[in-house]
Amino acid sequence: MVDLGDTRAGSGDDTEPAGGQGVLVTRQSARLAGLDELLEDRAPDPEVVAMAQRIARRLALRRRPRDARAERGAGRLLSVPYRYRSDDIDLDRTIEVLAERPVPEDTDIVVRERMRAPRAVVLVVDVSGSMRGEKVRIAAATVAALSADLVHDTLGLVAFWSDAAVLATTAKPVPPARLLDQLVRIPARGLTNVGFGLSVARSELARATARRRTAVLLTDAVHNAGPDPREIARRFDELHVLCETDGEHDAPLARDMARLGHGRFAAVATHRDVAPALNRLLAG
C-alpha cells in the first residue's frame, strides 16, 4: 500500500495557476495492482475491440506527417529509407536499391536523416469510469499513434484510476494489439488519482536505460483522489499532457501539469485529434 493521504500541497505561492479545481487533497490511499487481478475474465465487447483495432491499423499503416523543422538539429546523419520526413536524397544508395527493384515503392528511396538518441516513453492512461465510447477510441488512437511513431524508442504503459497497474514496461515491450486488448478489458473504475498514476510512471522511467525519458499523460484531469498531482508533475524531466475534452474535464489543471513537467499541453475531443496532437507534443 502507498498512503498518499498526509501529503499537503501548496507553499503559499499564488503566482502559479491553481487549475480548475484548485488544490484537492484527500486521504485516499492507492496501490499498484497486478494485471491478473485487474483484467476481467469475460471477453470485452466485440464491437469495442473491432473499433479499437480499426483505429490502430489505420494509424499504424500511415505514418503521421511531422514538422520538418523538428527533424533538424543534433544527431548523427544517416542514410535511411524514406519515411515522409527528409527530402535530402542519398542518390548513390537510392540507385543501388532501384537497380534491384524495377517497380520501386516510396520506402525504396534512401534519404539522409539526423537520428537522435533513443528515448524511453511511458504512456499514462486514465481508465477511471468506463473505457467505452470516445474515451476508448482516444486511448486506442494514442497507443497506435505512439507505437507507429516510436520506431527507435521504447514504450511503456501505465493505466490508473484510484489505483494503478503497469501494462507494459520500457524494458519489455508489448505489441500494440495486446496493449489495446488489455485496455478494453479493464472494468469500469470510479475515482481518479492522477498523482499516483504519475508516480508509478516516474518509477518506470527511472528504470529505463535511455538518457531521454518522456511521459505522456492521457486524462480528463478530473482529479478527485489522492494528493495534488502538480507536486509529482514537477519532478518529471518531460511530461506532456493530452487532455480529453469530450466530457467533463479540467483543462487548467492539465495545463499546470504540463507546464510544471517541462512539457506541452494539447486538447483532444475525438480520436481524430490524437495523431496531430502527439505530433506537436513530441516534435523536437
* CA 60/CA 144 separation, integer angstroms: 6
Task: Please report the beta strands in 15-69, taking only residues with DSSP state E, as ranges in sequence order.
Answer: none
Provide CATH 3.40.50.410 ranges for the chain.
35-65+117-282
**Calpha distance 258→245 (Å, rounded):** 16
Q: Which three cell numbers stand for residue 223?
A: 482529479
Annotate 206-267 with DSSP letters as a single string: HT--SSEEEEEEEE-----SSS-THHHHTT-SSEEEEEE-SSS--HHHHHHHHHHTT--EEE
Question: What's the confidence (pLDDT) of residue 101?
Answer: 76
**pLDDT reading at 201 higher than 60:** yes
Query: For the chain, give me the number of helices (H) and strands (E)?
Result: 9, 8
Q: Which of the four CATH numbers 3.30.200.20, 1.10.490.10, 3.40.640.10, 3.40.50.410 does domain 35-65+117-282 have?
A: 3.40.50.410
Residue 75 sits at φ, ψ, to 5 deg, of: 125, 155
Average confidence (pLDDT) over 160-188: 81
Q: Look up residue 23 and give its three cell numbers.
A: 488544490
Range with lowest mean pLDDT among 36-45, 158-167, 248-257: 36-45
Mean pLDDT computed over 5-33: 51
**For the chain, what is the mean pLDDT?**
76
Whether pLDDT at 48 is above 80: no
| Residue-level pLDDT at 26 | 55
Share of the chain above pLDDT 90, in %: 25
Residue 229 near residue 264, CB atoms below 8 Å:
no
Q: At what angle are helices 46-61 and 133-149 packed, to 10 degrees?
A: 30
Specify which of 30-34, 56-60, 108-112, 157-161 reaches the highest per-range mean pLDDT: 157-161
C-alpha–C-alpha distance, residues 215 and 156, integer Å:
9
Pairwise CA distance, residues 218 & 104, whole Å = 39
Highest mean pLDDT pick, 55-69, 108-122, 196-210: 196-210
The answer to whether 259 and 19 are in contact (CB under 8 A) is no
Q: What is the pLDDT of residue 57?
A: 58
Top pLDDT among 34 and 212 is at 212
